[in-house]
Structures are given as C-alpha cells and as structure tokens.
A and B are shown apart, each in its own frame.
Chain A
Amino acid sequence: MIKFQDIAKEYNDLMVLSNINLEIKEGEFLFLVGPSGAGKTTLIKLLIREELPTAGEIYYDSWEVSKLPHQQLPQLRREIGVVFQDFKLLPQKTALENVRFVLDVIGKNPEEQEELAPEILKLVNLERQKDHFPHQLSGGEKQRLAIARALAAEPKVLIADEPTGMIDPASAWNLINLLNKINELGATVIMATHNAAIVDTLKRRVVELNEGRIVRDQKEGGYAAS
C-alpha cells in the first residue's frame, strides 16, 4: 500500500534521510522509533507530500506521491490522516469547528457535520471543550483535538507523530487503545514515538531510524533492539 523506494532527502546540503526502502502493507500497525532528528517526521512529511524527496520514489497504492498533480493532493491527504507533532490546529476555529472543517472537506453535509463532530470529540474526551479555541486548550487537549481531527476523515492510513508526547500515561493508553481499534477496523496505523513502554507492550512491527537511515525493521519488535 505504501512504498518508499531509494528515498533521500536533503535540506540545505544536510542529508536527513538516505537510502530509505520501506514497504507498509494495508492494515499494518507500525511503530517508527529512533532518537529526535533521526528523520521520522521528515518521512511522514514526504508521504503526504508536505515535502518532496531529493531522490527516490514514494508510492501510495498506485499513485506516485511525488508526481501527483496538485489537484489530486487533497484526495491523498484525505486518505492519509496525520496527527501532527505540532498539532497544526486551525487557530481561528473552535475545537468543534476544527473537526467540522475536516468533515466539510471530505464532503459531509451540515447535518452530518452537526451529528458527527460532537461524537468524534467525545471519542477523545473533549466534548466539554468543544467551544474552546486551540489557544484555550492545554497541551494534552490540543493533542487530543489533533487526533480527533485526523480521525474525522476516516482515513485509510492514520499517522500519528509523537501522539503521546504531551499526555499523561493513562490518556496515552486510552489513545493506544483507540489506535488499536482503528487498526482492527482496517486502517493502517503508523505511529512515531519515544514511548518505550507502549512499543514494548504492543509487540508490533518496529522500524528504527538513526541519522536518516533505517537501522532496524523488526516484525514484533520492542523499543530497543533485542
């Protein structure tokens, strides 16, 4: 479903990714681990074409992502939901409106939006904060809102970039259960994380990046190489 082929990415002469070959099958649950600056976020940015690779090809289904015409990008991004590390919430919209925006983008009519948005917020336990603007939310609440928004589009692939970074352990486990459930429902889940406990408990495929290279790709791996 997703295939990175000989990918390299350079920023101002700095090699942040090189020689990346990675294939992810439909319905997989994959952890992306590695120290900060290893290239996890860049890899995600390449997949939704927030950035273009310096070399190599990326495939999503039959699409070659880096050659996708501009008008087709919305379609790609509706199928790949991302919980961004910096959240990227819409600052001028309330929590509810942030979710509704995505519902609107994917073509839900106002009545459906009215019905679905509160349900999605409930899923991440944010229904009480529905009328708050992002700047009125705590770090953890923002993170949950970012997750809610990514879920709203019912993406085929859900990518979460450090989604447990700012939430307490209990909420983190709730989130993992949620991601697990989504995965069981058929979505492919990719989660970049530093949370060793979660990775070690779930025993899923682990891809470890270091200095822009894949140094480990293990089927039922732990956070650290075993």
Chain B
Amino acid sequence: MPLPKNFKTALEYIRRHKWLTVTSVLVMTLTFFLTSIFVVAAFGSNKILKELEARPQITAYFKDDATEQEILAVKDKLEATGLTSSVTYVSKEEALTIFMGLSQENPALLEGISSNVLPASLEVKAKNLSDLPRLAETLEQEPLLEDLQFYRDVVEKFRKLMDTARLVGFSLVAILSLISVLIVLATIGMTIATRGEEIETMRLVGASDWQIRGPFLLQGALLGVASAIISTTLLYLLLPILIPYISGALASIGLPEVSPVFLIGLLVGEAAFGALIGSVGSWVAVRKYLRV
C-alpha cells in the first residue's frame, strides 16, 4: 500500500478525532518541553560545574609588604607538596588589569585606583579536591598571608544542588513521560476502539493487516512527531528569554550557549521517541481487532 495513501487516511483519522488529537499532542508537547528544559539544564549545570572546578580552588591574598620573591617562595613550597595541579602567581599589577577588565562598565569604580590597592595573590588548584584542606593549612602558616578564599565549599554546594535538581528533574520527567505515554495510548486506543467494528469489516472484505494498520500507525507517529516539533520550537523561542535570566542569577558564571545542533539533536530524539510511542500504541490497539 503506497505511503501517500496511508498518509491521506491517517490525516483523515486525525481530522475526525480532533479533540482527542489535540489532547494527546498537548500532553506529549508538555512532556517533551519539560524533558528538553531538563536536558538543557543538565548539560548546562555540568558545564558550570566543570568551570567552577577549573577555577582556582584556593586564592591566597598576601599582605601589601610581601615581596614577589617571598610569594614565589611560598609558591615553590606549595608545589613541593606534590598536591597541586597548578599554582599561579597574580601580581598587584595583574590584579589591577583583571579588576579593570571586570569593571569596564563601571568607570566610577576605576577612579583613583592604583595597583597598590589590590593585593598580590597565589591561585592554587589541587589535583584532588580532598587535598585542599592540607594545602590551606600550609598556606595559613605563612606569616605574609592576608586572607584565604576557599572555593571548595562553593563547588561542593553547587554539586549537591545539581545532584538534587537532577534527581527531581529526572523523577519529574520520568513521571511525565509515563503519564504522557498512557494518555497517548488511551487516545489512540479510543480512536481505534470506536472503529473496532470497522476494522473487523475491513478484514472481512479482504484487507490485509498492513492495509488496515498502516494509517493507524502513521497517525500515532504523526502525533508524536508533531509534539516534538512544537516542543522544540517553543524551546527555541523561549531559550533566549530564559538564558539571560538564569545567567543573571548566576552572576559571573557564563551559561553555556545552546547550540542549534543540540536543539536539532533534541528534536530528532524526541520525534523518534514520539513516533515510537504513537506507533507502538496504535499497533497494540489495532491488534485486538485484527483477530477476525
């Protein structure tokens, strides 16, 4: 049976069951949309986590009177422990350059600032996060140390937050997927049940299983694909609005760009999943009436 004909019949089935179609497309769209948001957030948070981990985990600020030699000596001492992956010296002048870069939009802050105001520092990264306390201890013994900023807590807190968010998100998506699968099955089941006698008649006048099943499978698959397209379009339109909002909340951490490739991948994945649910649902629902 040629595809265009199946297609035409499938569209006819959809047209004759408008509201059931709208319901199942809405439910599937909602599921796909939330899944997409969750997937985007999961990818984003991973990147944020990596970025956080890549940051200096300890920043040690030195007193104004510490000389470069003295600070470099401390650097050597830290490196000698073998626990660090990198130790970077940031001089007063470099600190000023960085500060000026960060404050470009706020020229008022820059007035009257000289390199003397900002402390020199060492940015320390550990090979293992668990070694951070020992490195911190070593640093704290230095008489020249002014202040110590410890990033481990930030990273850990973020990681925990992400773990929780991921669990909640995953559960939500799982529950929604289940609900949407059930609703789609019920919708297709209902459209087919109202035609049970018709399907039996088709069999009795000599239609083969595939001649009957084809349009129904296509109908189910079309609903799934349509939902995936609507959901991805929504996401595409809403992301530019959502991202600055989230970025604002996260201050200096740059939220990763959502690439078109990623969106297309998401669309294809969801469309395939939708088509699968739709067609499997139709298959199961029709089967009952094909026994004649």
Contacts and interface: CB of A to CB of B under 8 A. Distances in A.
Contacts of B55: none
A102 B205 contact: yes
Contacts of B205: 77, 81-82, 88, 101-102, 105, 149, 153
Nearest to A155: B206
B195 interface: yes
B206 A105 contact: yes
A124 interface: no
B16 A92 contact: yes
A110 B2 CA distance: 10
Interface of A: 48, 50, 70-71, 73-78, 81-82, 84, 88-92, 101-102, 104-106, 110, 149, 153
Given A77-B206, A90-B202, A149-B205, 17 more contacts: A50-B292, A73-B203, A74-B206, A74-B207, A75-B206, A77-B203, A77-B204, A78-B206, A82-B204, A89-B201, A92-B12, A92-B16, A92-B198, A104-B1, A105-B206, A105-B207, A153-B205
A74 B208 contact: yes
A74 B212 CA distance: 11
Contacts of B127: none
A120 to B, nearest CB: 14
Contacts of A89: 201
A83 B207 CA distance: 16
Nearest to B16: A92
11 contacts: A70-B209, A74-B211, A82-B204, A90-B202, A92-B12, A92-B16, A101-B205, A101-B207, A105-B211, A110-B5, A153-B206
Nearest to B292: A50
Please classify the interface of chain B as helix (H, G, I), strand (E, B), loop, or mixed, using the class held by over half of its residues.
helix
A128 to B, nearest CB: 24
Task: Give me the 3 closest cross-chain CB pairs, A-B, nearest first.
Answer: A78-B206, A77-B206, A74-B208
Nearest to B12: A92
A71 B16 CA distance: 29
B135 to A, nearest CB: 74
Given A50-B292, A92-B16, A92-B195, A101 B202 contact: yes
Interface of B: 1, 5, 12, 16, 195, 197-198, 201-209, 211, 292
Contacts of A84: 204
B206 A102 contact: yes
A48 B204 contact: yes
A59 to B, nearest CB: 19
Contacts of B207: 74, 101, 105
A37 B12 CA distance: 39
A89 B197 CA distance: 10
Given A50-B292, A92-B16, A106 B206 contact: yes
A71 B208 contact: yes
A50 B204 contact: yes
A105 B203 CA distance: 10
> Which of B5, B195, B205, B207 has most chain A Cβ within 10 Å?
B205
B238 to A, nearest CB: 39
> Which of B202, B203, B204, B209 has most chain A Cβ within 10 Å?
B204
A81 to B, nearest CB: 8
B283 to A, nearest CB: 15
A5 to B, nearest CB: 23
A188 B292 CA distance: 24
Nearest to A82: B204
A90 B195 CA distance: 9
